[in-house]
Amino acid sequence: MTADAGLVLAWLVLAHLVADFVLQPGSMARAKAAPGSGATPALVSHALVVGVCVVPFGLAFGAPGWWVVAIVVLSHAVIDRLKAVLTRRAEAASLAEARRRHEAAGTAPDGLGPAWTPVPGALFAVDQLAHVAILVAAWAALLSVAPLDPAFAGWAADWFGARDPAVVHEVLFRGVVLASLLIVNVRAGALFVGVLVAPRLAIEGRPLEDRPTASATSASPAPPARLGWTFQVGPIEGRAVPDPAAPPTAVTAMHPSPAPPGRVGEAIGIIERLLIVTFVLAGAEAAIGLVIAAKTLARFKQLDDRDFAEYYLLGTLASVAVASISAFAAAAALGSLG
């Protein structure tokens, strides 16, 4: 007995999404990004979670399935560690550039803020694409034509009973695709948009919004401040500090960058993406413009602020891109059923 190849691939993708975005708490994500060997326990724990999510493929396919489990777990740990290292380097480089551009107190950041960089968001996207690419490659090489393990095939036949296997496969496939779509647009999309938009320059562990300006501290000189990069998106938060050997720079007079979206903003983004997904699956793509227009009208007066307008546009475009790409991919997958 051979399993439906499309259904197996859909289950693999869902297993990855569940491991990365449902079963990975914020504390594990933060610890996994720690420098040096401090990240090892969290990295191993996350790899074990990934392994648990793909173990059913070993049970279902025997030796080919266990090879897939090993490949997915090991590659997942390597990719996650590489992403953490590259992200820290990008953050440190961004802070160094911010220090060079704002050596003199009183200078104001331009555009998206002094330490903003698209690299963490890009690495987030590349990380997920790499995971999915390995899943697809492992599926194509090992599982696409592999027969089911006889014991598992017997259990599946008993479970199907008198049901039509084709109908059961179609119902399961649609459910798995829709579940994946939900995770992508509720959890993964929120994290991606936040990582792309939310990084802020901070002083002594506090964001610039919470620091006094130069006029408020003119009576006495401010102590040297240590720059740090912080972000928080839902349960995920992190901080990177540049080389301590570099001379500190007082930046208390810098104008604050816009604060990252809070829970209300995150909820608005989730609803926006779910509406876009619904319109795409319903064939009403033209209605997407109404969602964006309604969101823009609510923020119309704030768009006069250049910094806010740039953050708003970046976040909106990223959110719409996640929803549109995932929705069209899901529509293509569901359409393949005929």
Q: From its phi and psi, is residue 242 left (phi > 0), alpha (psi between -120 and 50) or beta?
A: beta
C-beta of residue 43 within 8 angstroms of C-beta of residue 81:
yes
CB atoms within 10 A of CB 235: 14
> What is the band of 112 on the pLDDT scale with cuts at 50, 70, 90?
low
Helix count and strand count (H, E) for the chain: 11, 4
For the segment 148-167, the average pLDDT, to the nearest whole number, is 83
Token digits of residue 17:
């999404």
Residue 45 has pLDDT above 90, yes or no: yes
Residue 335 has pLDDT above 80, yes or no: yes
Q: Express each pLDDT in 210-259 by its tens digit.
A: 333 333 333 444 444 444 444 443 444 444 444 444 444 333 333 334 44
Token digits of residue 258:
């816009």
Please tell me the predicted confidence (pLDDT) of residue 216: 37
Q: Express each pLDDT in 169-223 by its tens digit.
A: 899 999 999 999 999 999 999 999 988 886 543 333 333 333 333 333 334 444 4
Please tell me the predicted confidence (pLDDT) of residue 261: 52
For the segment 133-141, the average pLDDT, to the nearest whole number, is 96
End-to-end CA distance of the chain: 23
Rounded-to-integer distance, Cα 189 and Cα 208, Å: 26
Q: Express each pLDDT in 115-131 by its tens digit.
A: 688 888 999 999 999 99
State residue 206 phi and psi, 5-degree precision: -115, 145
Residue 17 has pLDDT above 70, yes or no: yes
pTM of the model: 0.79
> What is the band of 96 on the pLDDT scale with cuts at 50, 70, 90?
confident
C-beta of residue 311 within 8 angstroms of C-beta of residue 112:
yes
Half-sphere exposure of 50 (CA within 13 A, CB side): 26
